[in-house]
Structure 1
Amino acid sequence: MTQHLADRTRPTSEAGAPRPEAAPSAAPRPPEWWRDAVIYQVYPRSFADGNGDGMGDLAGIRARLPYLAQLGVDAVWLSPFYASPQADAGYDVADYRAIDPMFGDLHDADALIRDAHDLGLRIIVDLVPNHSSDRHEWFRRALREGPGSPLRDRYHFRPGRGTDGELPPNDWESIFGGPAWTRLPEPDGEWYLHLFAPEQPDFNWENQAVRDEFRSVLRFWLDMGVDGFRIDVAHGLVKAAGLPDMGHAGQLRMLGTQVLPFFDQDGVHEIYRAWRQILDEYPGHRIGVAEAWTPHESRTALYVRPDELHQAFNFHYLNTPWNAAELRRVIDSSLDSMRPVGAPTTWVLSNHDVVRHRTRLGGGLARARAATLLMLGLPGSAYVYQGEELGLPEVTDLPDEVRQDPAFFRRGSGGDGQEGQDGLRDGCRVPLPWTRDGESFGFGGAAGWLPQPAGWGELSVAAQSGDPDSTLELYRAALAVRREQPALGAGDGVEWLPAGEGVLAFRRVDAEGRAVLVVANTTDAPVALPEACAGARLLLASGPCRADGPLPADTTAWWRE
């Protein structure tokens, strides 16, 4: 079907399908493109609706690919679009080789990949290997065949504890709240493990059939032309031998750093070494990206050793507040952890599981813009979540009756909203506004699956395009400068410069000795510029800023020495 970007020699298209024009920013990337790539996360339900039914889909994404190319990103990561009952927005997969009809079909996926490649964009797809849907044929057959069936060994079925097996096999808790076990009705009576919703039974990765199946799934999508995989719950596949008790109570955190018997077990690395061999068989540097929550950055680094995956999300950075000392500590720790394994550090501020950083960091839009420019000035790869380039805030006032996050229904609405398992993830998943007006602000022909705030028309792509002061134009400018200045993004270290309290200042130098200075003021008052900025040329600032200072509150700026 689709060939890889690096192998394409001329544009091809389905008969009658429009071929988008290549964007001027789609410059050739180095072979190891992923080391400093900016990757844009698309949440398919909420990006663009191609058929007007109120639900985002692959046709809608395909139509908006030129927008992403013009934004200046290198790759697009698509959250799950597989066949699914949608108990957890597609993270409960019933068929890993099929597209859910709500999003389209395999022809739509093929056309999207082709168009993306013609625009100079790579495509990364989500892979969900920790668990399947309870509607997956394997699980359904395991239920039908009953206790003792070999098919049950593909999941974690266990007898219960207690006199009549009425107690769960151990004390593990679900990330979404409540026990991580569900008991089947009598006469069966066995329990099955689900670290997330009951509709998401965990695979048993000690079973060879599970390993064989996912190697086959990898090849299916690589043959389709995808450029990589974002691996959901990459740290959760292997459980501690014997499934021992946690030994303590207390609700787990979505992006927690607890040491747990079902997360970050050393056995996961054997799996990823096998996957790396498959990725390396294909041309064009296909990549694996680990969503791995670990107790420390040094544990995250294990997932990206030279014979394993290529990137791992840096959740330690995402969880850091807007505080210069804490940011410097996590930046140093992240870079120091990745350097020995030769992997790039990744930086991310928002995604589909956390409160948008404009809201989460406090300080409003100015602080969010400053945080973005700081992130894009760091060495390594950066991730952008759809809508953050528009400065979208978290939608905090969704009515209970429209919410769809399964954790909301398990735990009610009493959480603080700072972590996904509190059931409030819908607030960062509201459909994007594309136009100033219309029933769904250009998202599609009908109101979206979650209601958009009334004022979002002024945050739309149409409203911000061409406005030099808009957040959208800031992102476009930042990504253009990042491409033009090799000192930004590449490399594995920063040179810290003397700066006042609450200020981060560092120098980035490219292979030819050309330097860019990055200065971020995390305080609520203007500060004097570091001496290194004297005589330097101001490249870009997140807000109003003079080349000779002072640097305003909640502002980041880049200078060329």
Structure 2
Amino acid sequence: ADPASPYRDYYIFAGKDGVRPNNWGSFFGGSCWAADPAGTGQSYFHLFAKEMPDLNWKNPAVREEMFKAAEFWLKKGVDGLRLDAFIHIAKADLRQSYPSEDDKPVIAEDFFANRPEVQEWLAPFCARLREEFPDLLLLGEAASASINLAADYTDPKRNLMDSVITFRYFTEKEDSVNPAFSGQYQPKEFDWLAFKQNQTVWQQTLSAMPTLYWSNHDMARLATRIAKTPVQQRSLAMAMYLERGIPVIYYGEELGLHNLEFDDVEQFADETVADFVKEAGEAGVDEKTALAMASRTHKLPARGPMPWDGSQ
């Protein structure tokens, strides 16, 4: 709240007089800038939810605090760490807007993903951790990184990640999408040929161990997306987990769990779903059908509780 506090620079503030510094958009919808609650007229940066302001990794004090946070858990006996969205810790000059024909926020990945400073800042962070914990496993989430960047991030000579999670394994066919409204949450057919080609490239290019997964907390579950029967689920598990790499299994996948089914747009807690349902309605699709589509494709219905019973 205090603009003179040293902790102010632990986050990213910019702009003035209530005017955002650029047109960059949040992955969770809308602008990645929110008004400073302290009322300074500046905005703070949040690439994801507005309750999750980005840390300012450019500040050496922040990098030191993050090292201490990692060290705290490793001293408790944790064997490894997942570095969530590490490819987004560096941002370009905040005065640059993404070229656009209107004033709507734009997902400007070139300005906040896979920038050179990512490796510059993380290399000493990872090296220090490995000096203290030589058996540490660092698993980085590099959602949009190309295969070449993934190879860089996992190159032992660069001393960064042991393995990275990519979102580029899975390709869907767009030809089944109804063009009358947004295809964002419309169920799509899985592209098996593209999947095989993707797997071949990642298996052959990475010298480090690739991650092997079908589901995670940011996508619909395998049993909802692709595998319609237990036999299909087991077959796909075998096809994936017998490849070269590190299996990463999302909780409940061993039980063949499906996505939950939401019947209210508020349950998604995501303004992009509200926009989707509205647009679908304008195209003549009733709300129940639109919500069923979103339940099959959105990440939140994949986060249902793990089922338990009273048996041993």
TM-score range, shorter-chain basis?
A: 0.7 to 0.9
The answer to whether structure 1 residue 167 and structure 2 residue 19 are counterparts is yes
Q: Is the 8 A contact 2:23 2:105 kept in 1?
A: no
Distance in 2 (alpha carbons) for counterparts of 1:185 and 1:216 = 28
User: Which residue of 292, 304, 308 maps to 1:430?
Assistant: 304
Q: Percent identity?
A: 28
What SS is found at the alignment partner of 2:89? coil
Distance in 1 (alpha carbons) for counterparts of 2:81 and 2:145 = 23
Distance in 1 (alpha carbons) for counterparts of 2:297 and 2:226 = 20
Q: Is the 8 A contact 2:219 2:297 kept in 1?
A: no
Write the letter of the residue equivalent to 1:271.
W
Note the alpha carbon deviations across 1:438-490, whole angstroms, 9 max, x for none: xxxx5xxxxxxxxxxxxxxxxxxx6xx9xxxxxxxxxxxxxxxxxxxxxxxxx
What SS is found at the alignment partner of 1:336? helix
User: Which residue of 10, 13, 21 maps to 1:154?
Assistant: 10
Q: Is the 8 A contact 1:236 1:262 kept in 2?
A: yes
Write the letter of the residue equivalent to 2:151.
A
What corresponds to 1:208 in structure 2? 60
The answer to whether structure 1 residue 272 and structure 2 residue 122 are counterparts is yes
* Alignment gaps of 5+ in structure 1: 1-142, 436-441, 443-461, 466-561
Q: Indicate how the Cα distance of structure 1 residues 348 and 187 shifts in structure 2: closer, same or farther if over 3 A, else same.
A: closer
Distance in 1 (alpha carbons) for counterparts of 2:133 and 2:45 = 38
What corresponds to 1:101 in structure 2? none
1:425: Cα distance to partner? 2.8
What SS is found at the alignment partner of 1:261? helix
1:186: Cα distance to partner? 7.9
Distance in 2 (alpha carbons) for counterparts of 1:185 and 1:385 = 37
1:226: Cα distance to partner? 0.6
1:266: Cα distance to partner? 1.5
Q: Identify, as 1 or 2, the structure richer in helix.
A: 2
The answer to whether structure 1 residue 351 and structure 2 residue 216 are counterparts is yes
What SS is found at the alignment partner of 1:230? strand
Write the letter of the residue equivalent to 1:425.
K
1:182: Cα distance to partner? 0.9
1:284: Cα distance to partner? 5.7
The answer to whether structure 1 residue 226 and structure 2 residue 78 are counterparts is yes
Distance in 1 (alpha carbons) for counterparts of 2:302 and 2:160 = 31
What corresponds to 2:175 in structure 1? none
1:273: Cα distance to partner? 1.2
What SS is found at the alignment partner of 2:135? coil
What corresponds to 1:195 in structure 2? 47
Q: Is the 8 A contact 2:139 2:163 kept in 1?
A: yes
Q: Indicate how the Cα distance of structure 1 residues 362 and 260 shifts in structure 2: closer, same or farther if over 3 A, else same.
A: farther
1:155: Cα distance to partner? 1.1
What corresponds to 2:87 in structure 1? 235
Distance in 1 (alpha carbons) for counterparts of 2:263 and 2:18 = 38
The answer to whether structure 1 residue 326 and structure 2 residue 194 are counterparts is yes
The answer to whether structure 1 residue 286 and structure 2 residue 136 are counterparts is yes
Q: Identify, as 1 or 2, the structure richer in strand.
A: 1
What corresponds to 1:524 in structure 2? none
What corresponds to 1:412 in structure 2? 274
What SS is found at the alignment partner of 2:67? helix
Write the letter of the residue equivalent to 2:274.
G
Q: Is the 8 A contact 1:222 1:282 kept in 2?
A: no
What SS is found at the alignment partner of 1:412? helix
Q: TM-score normalized by structure 2?
A: 0.78
Q: Indicate how the Cα distance of structure 1 residues 324 and 200 shifts in structure 2: closer, same or farther if over 3 A, else same.
A: closer
1:351: Cα distance to partner? 1.0
Identify which range, 281-290 or 380-389, moves more after superposition.
281-290
Write the letter of the residue equivalent to 1:325.
L
Alignment size in residue pairs: 279
* Alignment gaps of 5+ in structure 2: 173-188, 278-289
What SS is found at the alignment partner of 1:317? coil
What SS is found at the alignment partner of 2:168? helix
Q: TM-score normalized by structure 1?
A: 0.45
The answer to whether structure 1 residue 260 and structure 2 residue 110 are counterparts is yes
1:325: Cα distance to partner? 2.2
Q: Indicate how the Cα distance of structure 1 residues 186 and 335 shifts in structure 2: closer, same or farther if over 3 A, else same.
A: closer
